Amino acid sequence: MKITVLAGGVGGAKFLRGLRAHLRQVDPDGFGGTASEVTVVVNTGDDVWLTGLRVCPDLDSIMYTLGGANDEVRGWGRVGESERVSAELTEYGVGWPWFTLGDLDLGTHITRSHLLREGLTLSEVTARLCARWNLGVRLLPMSDQSVETHVVVADPEQPGGERSMHFEEWWVHYRAGLTALRFEQRGLASAVAAPGVVQAILGADVVLFAPSNPVVSIDTIVAVPGIRDALVETGAPVVGVSPIISGSAVRGMAHACLSAIGVETAADAVALHYGARDSGGLLDAWLVDESDAALVAGLEEAGLRVAAVPLWMNSVEATTALAAAALAEAAGLTV
Ligand code: GDP
Ligand code: CA
């Protein structure tokens, strides 16, 4: 079975860990071989050049998590990390002092930047980096071209004026506390889907939307020229998992992103934002949390197949069951 997943960083990584565990349970011999093949199309809108290095937060979150090297306590970055180099950079006054690049993490960024400067594409570099970690899934950046998410906010020094900043500055430095007026994806018009992305969507047996940030992870991927068309065209069922539980974004600041695009922080509003495929949208099925069971009927009326199951990814076991439920929805659509 060919499974293609659209994913952002931390939410995507957790979901993928559950999906991999589920596939290993049902298919202990075949997984990673021919029986199940997982391709992940990863958001690269958060990528940034920092102190001369290319940093790809979402690709790295997934690589470290599936590679077993992420910091489980902090929730991101490498386990056993130190920050000596970052402290030196701060002394020199370069980089973003509020955006820590750990020493081990810097090894990844140096390698990536080196290979990019040698002329490799981001997809080729990603394959090289992932080879070390034996992930069992294939990670593809959404595009080899730079598509950077910038956030437009009101300029406090200029009434009626606006200023824009890189998404990471808005998110990490300002903790999404400056009201976003809109998001811009710089470079989008001249970007194309990375090699293999469109084929992975068209040739999939199942397409899954991880419970990732709908605005700055999933929408960003879908906006890359070629990707929306592939999602609309694919013969595979498209099943999404809600990143919103009981009206809350669980962890992180997705609420601020949804408000900026005028979508309520609710599991049904996010599903309707993606839309049902038979009315021109992207989804065949949607998973909401058990606590959101009251939303099922309304979503079914809107043309979606909906299941209410536990959506908290607070253990690998719970996330494994969630991934199984997503695949069961897809199977229900293909019979
Ligand atoms: P990021 O790139 O690191 O921000 O990560 P993603 O875009 O992949 O996912 C972030 C989103 O995951 C958050 O905004 C939450 O809405 C969602 N999320 C985090 N933890 C959980 C969880 O346990 N269950 C569900 N359903 N969603 C979660
Ligand atoms: Ca991200």
Q: Which atom of ligand 1 is nearest to the CA of 213?
A: 7
Which strands make up the sheet holding 180-186, listed edge to edge?
A: 162-166, 148-154, 180-186
The pair of structure tokens assigned to 210 is: 């991880």
Q: Among 212, 268, 314, which residue has the most ligand 1 atoms within 8 Å of its CB, making it the best to mutate?
A: 212
Residues 6+ apart with CB under 8 A from 197: 41, 140, 142, 143, 224, 226, 227, 230
| Helix/strand/coil for 5 | strand
Which among 319, 180, 169, 197 is positioned nearest to 250, based on CA atoms? 319
9 φ, ψ (degrees, to nearest 5): -85, -90
Domain boundaries, the chain: 1-72+111-335
Q: Is the Cβ atom of 213 under 6 angstroms away from ligand 1?
A: yes
What pLDDT sits at residue 335?
Answer: 60
Helices 57-66, 122-131: axis angle to 10 degrees equals 20
Q: Which residue is listed with tokens 């293999």?
A: 196
Cβ contact 271:304 at 8 Å? yes
pLDDT (tens place) for every residue of the chain, 335 residues total: 999 999 999 999 999 999 999 999 997 766 555 578 999 999 999 999 999 999 999 999 999 999 999 999 988 899 999 999 999 999 999 999 999 899 999 999 999 999 999 999 999 999 999 999 999 999 999 999 999 999 999 988 888 899 999 999 999 999 999 999 999 999 999 999 999 999 999 999 999 999 999 999 999 999 999 999 999 999 999 999 999 999 999 988 899 999 999 999 999 999 999 999 999 999 999 999 999 999 999 999 999 999 999 999 999 999 999 999 999 999 988 76
Task: Kindly state if the Cβ of 211 falls inside 6 Å of ligand 1.
Answer: yes
Q: 274-286 b/e with 16+ CB inside 10 Å = b?
A: bebbeeebbbbbb
Torsion, CA 115, CA 8, CA 39, CA 125, rounded to 10: 0
Best residue for ligand 1 mutational test, from 14, 139, 218 (most atoms within 8 Å of Cβ): 14
CATH class of 1-72+111-335: alpha beta
Q: Look at residue 209 in the predicted model and tell me its pLDDT.
A: 98
What's the gap in Å between 319 CA and the centre of ligand 2? 19
Cα of 77 to ligand 2 centre, how many Å? 13
So what's the pLDDT on residue 251? 83
Are 262 and 255 within 8 A, CB to CB? no
